[in-house]
Amino acid sequence: MMKTIFLLILGTVVILTLPYGCQSRERNNSKSEDNPEIQVPTPEKIRKATFFIENSESMFGYVSGSTEYIKVLTKLARKSDFTLSDTYLDFNFINGREINITPIGNNADFLTSKLNTQGFDCGDKLNSNLNGMFEVALENAGHDSISILISDGVYDVGEYAAPLSALENEGQGLKTKFLERLKEENLQTLSVQFTSEF
């Protein structure tokens, strides 16, 4: 089974974790018309899409007033592919040094009503743990479910005497989390960056 993880970067950095299942070449029965010996992977239906939206204080500028961030996130939450394939949507805020998840529900309109500074004001907004957020996203992705992590991608390394060393350690920690997940199944990672006025 091969999965794909896409990283979507919005604002400063927004991360979208999207495993997209394909049947392996050995197990797939469909074949290319040009060469009947070549088997073509067939994508599986996405049953569930779980959104994890970072709401630490560094994200508040993205939801102050009418912003491109809100427009893009609203459009993503209402993606027609999700509607056409009857994908169940699960929206959550995520923050904290010890990961804190605040469920928002499965209604895109309700999510949109929370994309403001009042709506973001929950959980441990003073801290964030980017590696922990990635770990949660990776745990919730697989088979016929996708996980979407939206974050500014800013590491909160705390008050270390050598912040650059702490940042390097965090980066190595994130690499380890992906490698551990690769032991379970094949993953691919893509990154797309957008600009923001904030």
When comparing pLDDT for 46 and 25, which is higher? 46
Position 178 in a domain? yes
Give the closest residue to 166 by CA, choosing from 138, 136, 130.
130
Position 188 in a domain? yes
| pLDDT averaged over every residue in the chain | 74
Please tell me the distance from the alpha carbon of residue 1 to that of residue 20, in angstroms, as a whole number. 10
Question: With 80 as the cut, is the pLDDT of residue 16 above it?
Answer: no
Please tell me the distance from the alpha carbon of residue 58 to that of residue 154, in angstroms, as a whole number. 8
- Residue 64: per-residue pLDDT: 92
- Residue 197: per-residue pLDDT: 62
Q: What is the pLDDT of residues 24-39, one digit of tens each?
A: 334 444 444 444 444 4
Read off the pLDDT of each residue in 111-115 and give the average, rounded to a whole number: 96
The structure's pTM equals 0.72
Read off the pLDDT of each residue in 84-112 and give the average, rounded to a whole number: 95
When comparing pLDDT for 132 and 36, which is higher? 132
Q: What is the CATH number of the domain that holds 13?
A: 3.40.50
Structurally, the chain folds into a number of domains equal to 1
Please tell me the distance from the alpha carbon of residue 76 to that of residue 157, in angstroms, as a whole number. 30
Q: Which structural domain, as residue segments, surrounds residue 85? A: 5-193
Position 43 in a domain? yes
Q: In 3-state terms, the chain is what percent helix, strand and coil (to 5)?
A: 30, 20, 45
Read off the pLDDT of each residue in 127-144 and give the average, rounded to a whole number: 84
Position 198 in a domain? no
